[in-house]
Structure 1
Amino acid sequence: MRMLTAGLVVAVAATLAVWQWSAGSDQQPDSSTSHSENPLRVSLMTSLPIVWGEGATMNDIIGGKATPAPVFVHWQDRYDLQAVDSFEDLDALQPDVVILAQPRAMDPADLAALDQWVRGGGRMVVLTDPALTWHSHFPLGDNRRPLATGLLSPLLEHWGLELLAPEDDGAGLVELQMEGLSITTSGIGTFRLHDKSSCNLSAGKILAECRIGEGRAILLADADFLNAELWESESESAAAQLTDRLIAQVTR
């Protein structure tokens, strides 16, 4: 497994710490406690095979034979989670947080609804990967495959961001050390700021925090870290804990 350069690892960890202690906060968000009596309402849109597992049929789902990914099971246990295919009824959903995890191509109405919702005070965590390496048994062009690259450019550009692919697509696995969490992933992208952007980037440029109107969004230029096939074991990956921290940060 290849480690990122120490400079990038240290810079990313330091930036997360700054975000967590900013805005007059006396304590870091607690990402270790289990779900409460009033869990956050989370709406999730994703093309990743984490909800039912790749290739699950309706019979599998009805018969209880589908296999959700470990990170999805974690979210189900911790949050009031709802997987959605559209955000046109976002006001009716009333989520506390929206998670976009390498979502499928979204129509203009969905993008406009999300932007308006965030500007009105919504909170969003965006995991968008420019070079997803997630293995799939389905052929290229099959809409059951996860998207190979993030397709949120219209929304990102509206927020003053550009998603960039990694310079070395063949670098293999990468281990990130972030805030004491060990994250295994592959093909990490970066962000670039445009003029008049209201976003701040980590030193490694893989994380962005944006204040958009009355709302906020935290973006990570990677989604492969959710893939349990990259983990040595479920207990040794902190992928779920990282998402908890991002959610805690954006909702505090």
Structure 2
Amino acid sequence: MAALTRFLWLWLPMLAVLPAGLARAWETGQADPWDWGVPVLAVAVVVGLLLARRGSAVLAWVAMGVVGPALLFCALAAGRMPDMGALPGLLALAVMGTFGGAWLRFPLPLAQGRLAAVALLALAGLLLWLGPARPIAPVPDRPKLAVLTALPLFWAEPGQAGAAPRDVPIIAVLRTRFTVEPLDDPRFLAGSGARRLLVAQPRALAPEQLVAIDNWVRAGGTALVLADPLLRWPSDLPLGDRRRAPAASLLAPLLTHWRFDPGTLASAEVRHFLPDGRLLTLSGAAIGKVLPQSGKIGRGQVLLLGDADLIDDRLWLADPVRPLDPRAWTADTPALLGEWLGAPIPGERRWMRTPAAVIAGLRWAILAGTGWAILGAMLFGRPFATKRPGTKSENRLERIQENSLTHF
């Protein structure tokens, strides 16, 4: 019975932390160890308070047992090691939480023991705040980016609540790297001063407008073209309304002139991983041999993706009010757009690859945590048998805790 009690003391903290962090990670699909930061710190403090009389070795063992399964899950679910900064960061949270909680209950042999415990927990809170990826901040030098589109990127459709000029989330992110200006007529492109152009499912363009884009690119411009063969962007406007974006791309004459491969239509929603592990979510896309397709046109460059829905925030953002927070992204779309247009957004994310990888990661994380608890129960029989003396109320509380664990 004593061995079972020791096992439960070492096993239940892991069992509390793992699903708590997974619930947050599941919202975005990111395998980010910092998603476990809050539950790790909270459980570590509670464990430190409850096991303060068991010794430093037990506290350290529990801290590693809480963090290890979460890190193992992230590695297996993403198929790659977690961010190297998150590994020591999460372990430091667990250690500071357990020892801070323990020192609150049994202060160090110092005059200001509890003050040291509070300082340690405050340091853990600071690490929890500074450790994860920070929201994107605007850069001071932002080149001009012209945007040619029929999508409602800069305004709300008529009839929507608060119909007025407003940026969709993808534009909010791009504004941190560019001076974004909507473009109504490509014939004004040459005089706009822009050297970068985003073409996202525009309306039908006249031949002279197509020629203006071609001339601008050949003169040294960079264009990112989103030409969707099966647009699914939500709209309350009736079919046939001229204010709607075209259901299929009307840029075929220009793309044919540039000799781009039309690609193969994939009508379903697809999570597409690039060779470097970054993720795009596509819907009704024309996918070529490479993504994106790239071509040198005169002195300029054109990049082509056969999907415009990918910039719809439903396909890359879990929380529409937090577009500048990379931890709320469900795909790398904003970072990739910035990079393709010449203004990278720093930061790297790991993504859960497949349901099978997630299941395997969860299985091995639980097995590893269970094995760690069993090993600890075998090694720490003596610390659980001999403990520091406490007050009568503390001894009574501990007996109640042990009885509850025994009858778990």
TM over 0.5: yes
Deviation of 1:76 (Å): 2.1
Deviation of 1:34 (Å): 4.7
Deviation of 1:39 (Å): 0.8
Q: Does 1:244 align with 2:338?
A: yes
Deviation of 1:37 (Å): 2.5
Question: Could you tell me whether the CA contact under 8 Å between 1:102 and 1:127 is conserved in 2?
Answer: yes
Question: Could you tell me whether the CA contact under 8 Å between 1:131 and 1:187 is conserved in 2?
Answer: yes
Bigger Rg, structure 1 or 2: 2
RMSD, aligned α-carbons: 2.4
Question: Could you tell me whether the CA contact under 8 Å between 1:130 and 1:163 is conserved in 2?
Answer: no
- Matching residue within 80, 85, 98 for 2:184: 85
Question: Could you tell me whether the CA contact under 8 Å between 2:149 and 2:201 is conserved in 1?
Answer: yes
- State the partner residue of 1:9: none
The code of the aligned residue for 1:45 comes to L
- State the partner residue of 2:302: 217
Deviation of 1:163 (Å): 2.4
CA distance in structure 2 between the partners assigned to 1:163 and 1:99 by the alignment: 19
Normalising to structure 2: TM-score of the pair?
A: 0.45
1:208-250 deviation digits (Å, cap 9, x = unpaired):
1110111111111111111112346042232211211211289
Against the structure 1 CA distance between its residues 139 and 155, is the aligned structure 2 distance closer, same or farther, given a 3 Å change threshold? same
- State the partner residue of 2:200: 101
The secondary structure found in structure 1 opposite 2:223 is strand
CA distance in structure 1 between the partners assigned to 2:293 and 2:221 by the alignment: 16
Against the structure 1 CA distance between its residues 183 and 134, is the aligned structure 2 distance closer, same or farther, given a 3 Å change threshold? same
The code of the aligned residue for 1:223 comes to A
- Matching residue within 278, 286, 291 for 1:189: 286
Normalising to structure 1: TM-score of the pair?
A: 0.71
The code of the aligned residue for 2:334 comes to A
Q: Does 1:38 align with 2:132?
A: no
1:78-104 deviation digits (Å, cap 9, x = unpaired):
211100110112221010201101111
- State the partner residue of 1:24: none
- In the alignment, structure 2 segments of 5+ residues that lack a partner are 1-134, 320-327, 345-408
The secondary structure found in structure 2 opposite 1:109 is helix
The code of the aligned residue for 1:174 comes to V
CA distance in structure 2 between the partners assigned to 1:134 and 1:117 by the alignment: 28
Question: Could you tell me whether the CA contact under 8 Å between 2:155 and 2:167 is conserved in 1?
Answer: yes
CA distance in structure 1 between the partners assigned to 2:159 and 2:223 by the alignment: 28
Question: Could you tell me whether the CA contact under 8 Å between 1:210 and 1:217 is conserved in 2?
Answer: yes
Aligned residues: 199
Question: Could you tell me whether the CA contact under 8 Å between 2:223 and 2:301 is conserved in 1?
Answer: yes
CA distance in structure 2 between the partners assigned to 1:113 and 1:34 by the alignment: 34
- State the partner residue of 2:158: 55
- State the partner residue of 1:177: 273
Question: Could you tell me whether the CA contact under 8 Å between 2:283 and 2:309 is conserved in 1?
Answer: yes
The secondary structure found in structure 2 opposite 1:124 is strand
1:173-204 deviation digits (Å, cap 9, x = unpaired):
2112233333222111034xxxxxxxxxxxx3
- State the partner residue of 1:196: none
CA distance in structure 1 between the partners assigned to 2:262 and 2:248 by the alignment: 10
- In the alignment, structure 1 segments of 5+ residues that lack a partner are 1-31, 192-203
Against the structure 1 CA distance between its residues 244 and 232, is the aligned structure 2 distance closer, same or farther, given a 3 Å change threshold? closer
Against the structure 1 CA distance between its residues 161 and 232, is the aligned structure 2 distance closer, same or farther, given a 3 Å change threshold? closer
Relative to total residues, which structure has the larger helix share, 1 or 2?
2
- Matching residue within 250, 254, 262 for 1:155: 254
CA distance in structure 2 between the partners assigned to 1:177 and 1:249 by the alignment: 21
Deviation of 1:146 (Å): 1.8
Deviation of 1:50 (Å): 1.7
The secondary structure found in structure 1 opposite 2:142 is coil
Question: Could you tell me whether the CA contact under 8 Å between 2:138 and 2:175 is conserved in 1?
Answer: no
